[in-house]
Structure 1
Amino acid sequence: MKKTLLLTSLVASMVAMAGTTGSVKSFAESEAKFETKKSVSNDQKEVETKTTKSYEVGKIGVETEVKVKGSGLSFGGTFQAEKLSLDPAPTKDKFLDHSKVWAKYELPEIKGVKSFVKATAEPKFIGTATDKGSAELEGQVSYKYGEFTFGLNSKTNFPFVQKTANVNYGTDVKSTHKLFVESEEKKDVFVKGLKDVKASLEIKHNYAKTVAKAGDRVDYVSGEASAKYDAVKDLELEGKVAFKKNISGKEIGDYEILGTKLFEKANARYIHSYELKGTYTGVKHLSLSANPFVVHVNVSKEVTNNKLKRNDDVLYGVELGAEYKMLNDKLTLTGKSLLAGIHIKTIDETASEDSKKLVKENLGVFVFDANAKYDYSVTDKFTVSPEANANLELLVSKPADKLVTKPTLTLTPKVSAKYVPVEGLTIEGEVSVPVKFGVVTKSFEKDSNDNTKYVSTKPVNGFGYDSTSIKTSLNLKYEWK
């Protein structure tokens, strides 16, 4: 014990002498889940109800950052374990393969030019022969001219692999270069009301030794542009356009709104999206918003003997939101909804049947979310915030001329707390209990030849209780200046 105290005092003294600022944060997230399912007994004469239980620590660890005053040097790391379950028992990789350390040096600013270099190591001590983690080098230079900042950011990732798996190492080394320009935050540019203008262009490539053509070294090209406009009283407009074109890369990531994935990560050729959000604040304590969007994903395209095979997804809809604050802004009522459609078009000119040469499918996604949260200040250092949330999701499809609706309802009571016992130390925790209802198996059809037996392959589905989870999180953060 004495040795521990001595070591702690020594470290604290060194930190103080070094003239540093920084933070240390410990965190833990866990979930216990209880699922209820119906099944047919072995003798097929009864429908049994079974409850399965599971417990998992999603992540637990420590995160730190230290800045040496006046030097431009900072360093830190994240040391964590992930997905620790009781059954099955966690393997070594859960403890050893999710940590990283980094160091960063910011060069002195010279006539508006800022730059930094950063090195990150993220080893996987278990991993696989072809995946032992990686090291990444990052550099950035930017120049401020008037209200605008122009810059270039470059990252190169070097994977750690065993020598026997290092056949063409350059293929696995990836560089990402990003050109960007952004205006000074909340400051008008060009015309009154136009602000927060941002644009970027990014390219990712590898260093393969031999390729059929130079373009094969390029994974993708992507870009994004956004701006806000608030010249009209009580109204703010925010527009955003984005695209990503795979060259030799394969995947397009999720497109998600209100926690609903309208497009899930999959192999695709390109995506481009358009959003325009309007927010009205003309009524005291009330904020209203609408965010219409259109997204096009080209999943695949192939031409064989002048015959086209192509698959496209078009996502469209609007996200609506309303927020009302009352009781001196202690009580916040929030309502959100998503009204979206998904149009899937498949062209196959090689198909023998005319009905399969052009296939169209339309899906509907409707999400309604309501939340009430109250911030209760027990003392000036301790705040407790109970809240309740209800989320209803409706997935609508029409297979074989029949309209099918799949509902999911999640009710979530939640309590969070924040405590600041002394300056620099913050303790935060929360507990939530999501209760999920949806389309579940409620029984099974009887055997037509034997009315005393159930057929396990013929479930009778209906809306009912699905599962309950208990989620907890705890964060402790200490900052020094």
Structure 2
Amino acid sequence: MKKTLLLTSLVISMVAIAGTTGSVEGYNENEATFVKNPASTTFVAKKIGVKTEVKVNETGFSFGGDFKAEDLELGKAKKANYLNHSSVWAKYELPELKGVKSYVKATVEPKFVDESDNYKFGGSAEIEGQASYKYDVLTFGLKSKTNLPFKLSENNTDYGKDVKSTHKVFVESEKDKDVFVKGLKDVKANVEIKHNYATENVTKAGERVDYVKGNVELAYDSIKDLKIDGKADFTVNVNAPKELGNTKLGDYNLEDHELVGTLSKELVDFVHTYNAKLTYTGVKGLSLAVAPFVSHYRTSGIRLVVNNAIYGTSLNAEYKTLNDQLTLTGKALLAGYSVLKNGTNVANVENSGVVSLGANAKYDYKVSDKFTVSPEADAKLDLLIYDQQPAPFLTLTPKVSAEYKPTDALTLKGSVETPVKFKTVGAEFKYTDTQLKTSLNLKYEWK
């Protein structure tokens, strides 16, 4: 951490000069896990680094970088953990021409590949460009990115196969402004395609396409004290299945619950997801929300096609009192997971369910106008229901966070939390481990 603060100070002294605005930020996140067996105790520096952004006034030019290391496990860290997560970039915003705004941006991400302790330089440069035009409250635009690797991937002789481009056409409305009819707000829609430039073994253009995806979002709030949000997404992996990733379903992320987190590693042909959220704020200080969702994706093999569905709803309640200093939150998730298998000599359905209950209390204590301390307590109970046998996971997390802002330019944030975990091991529900998570963030901005 001392090295991070030293580097932060150095960057501040170099770039905080007349004619520029920007920021420099040092950060550190650590995680220690303690179990009954001391030999199994681990310490991991999840993230440590410095991020900076500098804008040269009245030129449209800006530049910056993120210099960081990730997942530095005590005694097991490799050179790749230190070197493979950084990037530097430069951006130029072109002068506006007849209402059209545009920019170009270049990013370099160096990689060092571990090959029997011989670290070879690889990774990529990315060129990004965007043009947009605003008409009334709507902005229409086109955004393109092209990733150029520094070296060929393994067992590949066709460089064009490794060059990837994504092109996105989008439209979005100005935040909180009505669109077409009273109450219709925050409209967003886009379609994106990703492809490569392979020249070998390609008989038609469609064989170069990786995926096609789309997204539509909108909100409606003309009913007193009620807001309705809607969202629909789809992804079609054209020539090969890809990982599902951390799909967000309503207020629910797959990765948030270890019960179904492995679903994000599924190789899928396509996925489409639909979310809605209704939020009621008719009682002072109280917010109530219900967020139903459904997602369907398909995986397939030579002799087996598997259709998967995840569906359910989350219920959230938040109450603020004591001049908004005390926040009480309750959450409930009810979800189902169904699998339909069809193939040679196979035709069956498997069902499972997830029930997640959570509660949180947080108090923001203002020691002074510049210093705030926020203690909080969080509890979460997850139940996986499979073959009528519930498997509980319980996590209790006390946490303290603080923010100190001595000047308008400098902000220091830190937090300490200790999740204590219990789960079913065999036929017994018992304590498994305690974690200690710390984070520290120092940000300096100049204008």
- Tell me if structure 2 keeps the 8 A contact 1:130–1:165: no
| Separation in 2, partners of 1:25, 1:74 | 16
For 1:236, the equivalent position in structure 2 comes to: 227
What pairs up with 1:18-417 in 2 under 5 angstroms? Answer: 19-36=19-36, 52-88=40-76, 90-127=77-114, 132-161=122-151, 167-210=157-200, 211-251=202-242, 252-256=244-248, 257-258=252-253, 259-260=256-257, 261=260, 263-300=263-300, 309-348=304-343, 350-351=344-345, 357-398=346-387, 403-417=388-402
Alignment-mate amino acid for residue 179 of structure 2: V
| Separation in 2, partners of 1:284, 1:373 | 18
- Tell me if structure 2 keeps the 8 A contact 1:375–1:386: yes
2:42 aligned counterpart, secondary structure: strand
- The verdict on how the C-alpha distance between 1:86 and 1:390 changes in structure 2, with shifts beyond 3 A counting, is same
- Tell me if structure 1 keeps the 8 A contact 2:113–2:120: no
Alignment-mate amino acid for residue 148 of structure 2: F
Q: Which structure 2 residue ranges, 5 or more long, are not aligned?
A: 1-5
By how many angstroms is 1:165 displaced? 5.8
- Number of residue pairs matched by the alignment: 427
For 2:3, the equivalent position in structure 1 comes to: none
- The verdict on how the C-alpha distance between 1:9 and 1:404 changes in structure 2, with shifts beyond 3 A counting, is closer
| Separation in 1, partners of 2:167, 2:380 | 40
Alignment-mate amino acid for residue 324 of structure 2: D
2:81 aligned counterpart, secondary structure: helix
2:36 aligned counterpart, secondary structure: strand
What TM-score comes out, normalization by structure 2 length?
Answer: 0.91
| Separation in 2, partners of 1:437, 1:14 | 48
| Separation in 1, partners of 2:365, 2:205 | 61
1:209 aligned counterpart, secondary structure: coil
For 1:47, the equivalent position in structure 2 comes to: none
For 2:409, the equivalent position in structure 1 comes to: 424
| Separation in 1, partners of 2:397, 2:196 | 45
| Separation in 2, partners of 1:363, 1:255 | 19
- Tell me if structure 2 keeps the 8 A contact 1:127–1:133: no
Alignment-mate amino acid for residue 74 of structure 2: L
Please say which structure displays the higher CA radius of gyration: 1
Counting aligned pairs with the same residue, the percent is 54
By how many angstroms is 1:24 displaced? 0.4
By how many angstroms is 1:226 displaced? 0.8
Structure 1 stretches (4+) deviating beyond 6 angstroms? 8-11
- Tell me if structure 2 keeps the 8 A contact 1:130–1:161: no
Please give the root-mean-square deviation of Cα atoms over the aligned residues, in Å. Answer: 2.1
Question: More displaced, 135-144 or 432-441?
Answer: 432-441
- Tell me if structure 2 keeps the 8 A contact 1:131–1:159: no
By how many angstroms is 1:124 displaced? 1.2
What TM-score comes out, normalization by structure 1 length?
Answer: 0.85
Alignment-mate amino acid for residue 97 of structure 1: N
- Tell me if structure 2 keeps the 8 A contact 1:130–1:162: no
| Separation in 1, partners of 2:148, 2:89 | 14
Q: Which structure 1 residue ranges, 5 or more long, are not aligned?
A: 38-49, 304-308, 352-356, 442-460
By how many angstroms is 1:254 displaced? 2.7
1:328-353, CA deviations, whole angstroms, 9 ceiling, x for partnerless residues?
000000111110001110012x21xx
Question: More displaced, 28-37 or 274-283?
Answer: 28-37
- The verdict on how the C-alpha distance between 1:331 and 1:164 changes in structure 2, with shifts beyond 3 A counting, is closer
By how many angstroms is 1:298 displaced? 1.3
| Separation in 2, partners of 1:217, 1:164 | 18
| Separation in 1, partners of 2:319, 2:293 | 24
Alignment-mate amino acid for residue 349 of structure 2: K
1:379 aligned counterpart, secondary structure: coil
